[in-house]
Chain A
Amino acid sequence: MVLDPTGHADPERWGLVPDAHVRDFFPEEDPVLAGAVTAASRGQWRQAAEAMKATSGDWDDRACVTLALAREGARTDDWLNDWRDEQPDRDHAVLDAAAWVLVAKEILGESDERDHLSGYHRVLRRAERAARHAAELAPQDPTPWWTLVEVAGGLSFDQARFAEIWHGLHSRAPRHRAAHEAALRYWAGQSSDVLLDFAANAGPALVLRAAFLLEDDDPLIWRTQLVTGAMEQLLAEDELSNDDRGHLVLALYDHNRFTEVIEQFRALGTRADGTPWSRFEDPKGTFLEYRVNSCRKAALQR
């Protein structure tokens, strides 16, 4: 415990929002999507179908909408079943596959029990069938291939099988962000060397995510040339997503660059949602802990 009589550790002194305002859950901001999710939770599928239809072409946007609706689909699936019965279209197939993956992940959670693992694997195999079906119905769409990349990670496909899937994704959307992040998780289960090569080719934001996946096994990973370089590259960019900033926090913190960490926190404001925070057991608590520690240590550095 460091004594801090002048209260420099108080985040508000650094222009940060008070602890009490930080939250790790925010409702969907896009009103159309928010409306579709709410309707789905009440068993109505048509708004979801509209929302999915509107995304065709912008694949990153389609990934976001698919994920948001699939979350609801993993909770209750009456609306998905009605949708399939009344209008079995490609949008339904894409969403259905994505929802199966989320069901599988919830069955496993953080458990390592045999029943949970075998349930996880069984439902992932179901997800694979659904995704293959969707890929047939929507031959241009990379979204089912992203789902297959998720499945490949969960079922630890061999590299030849993964190559086939990755080719399917890459030929349709070479810079599909969500699929790249899923591919990181696949490679994390295979080989840390290939993981880092893959991330280095995919850009600085992915390198930081790879470092986060590897830090448990290799605590020095943040100080490597590759990760340090990626960190500097990201800092030089004009526009960063909240998730990018979250990972920058971890990188800068490890480099003891606390004033820059505080800048990232200033930009993040109240938002402790998204990665990397969601990967911790207590997302908001972890966010606040990094914040207060950065303030305290920045004060000591001055």
Chain B
Amino acid sequence: MRAVVAVALLVGIYVLGLVLIAGIVLVSVLFFVNDRPIGFIWSVVIGGALAFALLSGLFTLAGTSDDDERGELVGEQDEPELWALVRRLADEVGTRPPDRVFIVAEANAWVSQRTRLLGLVATTRRMSVGAPLLACLTERQLSFVLAHELGHYSNRDTRLSGVVATGRVALGRMISKLHNQSWYHVVAAVVFDLYANVYFAVTASLARRQELVADATATRIAGTEAAVSALRELPVVKAAWNLFHERHFRPAWDAGFLPTTIFDAFAGLRGSPELRAHLDEIRQNPPEGVPGPYDSHPPLSERITAATAMAVPTKGSDRPAGALLANNGAVMDKTLVSSLVEELGVKKRVDWATLSHNAVRATRVDRSRRLVRVGGGSLGAVLDRLDEGRLASLLRTDARPGSGTAGPRVRREFARGLLIDELTALVELTLADHHQARWESDWLGLTTYHGPDLTDEIERATEDKGSTEGLRAALTGLRTDQAPTR
């Protein structure tokens, strides 16, 4: 019954949109007929924009989505083993296999469909498999995850539940798309938002039950052990992937470099001793997380309990899921690099040790940039200014101490500390560029500097009646007349 209401609501959104547009047209017509030219122009401009936004929302809902166009499309001849698994799972779930399979650079997997006509008819079905899952899970665990996603389309319980799920996804997509655009789109989004809330409220329990049904289907196929361990492992994979991507891959990428290996390095991160405690903690106490507004997943603990209660014996292989891929999983690295292939010429391929050194180096260049600018363009010029007693000209004047005081001494001392940071970065850069120092980062992102410790010399150089003598002595023979660049 709820499913019928949900479908009716889905149709209703078109009625709502069209009624609103009719209203806008009516207002404009009334202005025109009653001979109010100013009002007419305003209503055409504003109403037109709103009508455009409403229409584009409706078309998003009805039409295709481009947000699943990311990732690396793999054909059956490219990855026969993965395709075989997907076909077998679809068969066991009792739904048609996806038309396309993508490998994506996200710690997630999902099945989506292009929708047509009121979002009620689904056409092309596509499955996205996260490369981090392939890298971290066993084949059994991956089977559970994929079977769960396919299970949403099994239509076993209700003929309409598949439509309900599609509708939820389409609505969520439409609203988030509208919100990211101009003001009139946002106005339309607010209208649809209110409507969508009703839809989500009506379908919440239905969607929650669908999740549990999908879990049950997948557990029957992959076994309880695989189900429970996959549910526990997913947050760990997510955490490890975020760490890898945010703290290692992205900074290197931003600095203009590409690692020679990506997923091998990711495996190294997962196995590294400095991260073991952190990841074990997540494994033991999975974060419940704050569910998003359109998220319908029941709490993890509930899903684990349900899967345990089914007590299905273990099935399938427990080799690493990555073994399903051809070419040692070369496709996984492509997920991060392929969509940006055009940049490949610009990014330099380096190994991870060089890469982490370079990424840190880039941060030091950023940190010293202001000092180089105000200090005459190079370390040598900065030291000359210090010797000339022009320390004050190098201090930042915009830095506010924590207490917010205007006391000149506190402000000066705070600025002096910031100057020491900048000068330290500049000195380390000079040493590193002459191969007398280097930086190293562990997988946690902690940086260690290996090189001469010049803390005292730098402090001495930045005192009120200081001296750069010690610092200059330590830098003898090095070129200090250049501005470091990234």
Contacts and interface: CB of A to CB of B under 8 A. Distances in A.
A113 B410 CA distance: 16
B403 A108 contact: yes
A116 B409 contact: no
Nearest to B418: A115
B408 A106 contact: no
B420 interface: yes
A119 interface: yes
Contacts of B407: 74-76, 106
Contacts of B421: 115, 118
Contacts of B420: 122
A107 B408 contact: no
B398 to A, nearest CB: 12
A263 to B, nearest CB: 35
A41 to B, nearest CB: 11
Given A107-B414, A107-B417, A119-B414, A76 B402 contact: no
A301 interface: no
A171 interface: no
B483 to A, nearest CB: 24
B418 A106 contact: no
A109 B417 contact: no
Given A110-B403, A118-B421, A123 B413 contact: yes
Given A119-B418, A123-B417, A109 B409 contact: no
Interface string B391-408: 000000001011111011
A241 interface: no
B417 A118 contact: yes
A191 interface: no
Interface string B209-226: 000000000000000000
Contacts of A120: 402
Interface residues of B, number: 17
A109 B401 CA distance: 7
A183 to B, nearest CB: 23
Given A74-B407, A110-B402, A110-B403, A103 B418 contact: no
Nearest to B417: A119
Interface in A91-111: 103, 105-111
A107 B409 CA distance: 10
A48 B414 CA distance: 26
Given A75-B409, A76-B407, A106-B407, A111 B402 contact: yes
Contacts of A108: 401-403
Contacts of A118: 417, 421
A106 B417 contact: no
A119 B409 contact: no
Nearest to A111: B402
Interface in A20-53: none
A119 B403 contact: no
Interface in A121-170: 122-123
Given A109-B403, A109-B404, A115-B421, 18 more contacts: A103-B409, A107-B401, A107-B403, A107-B417, A108-B403, A109-B401, A109-B402, A109-B405, A110-B403, A111-B403, A113-B402, A115-B399, A115-B414, A115-B417, A119-B417, A119-B418, A122-B417, A123-B413
5 closest A-B pairs by beta carbon, nearest first, are A109-B402, A111-B402, A109-B403, A119-B417, A116-B402
26 contacts: A73-B409, A74-B407, A75-B410, A77-B409, A81-B464, A103-B410, A105-B403, A106-B402, A106-B407, A107-B402, A107-B403, A107-B410, A107-B417, A109-B401, A109-B403, A110-B402, A111-B403, A115-B418, A115-B421, A116-B401, A116-B414, A118-B417, A119-B401, A119-B414, A119-B418, A122-B420
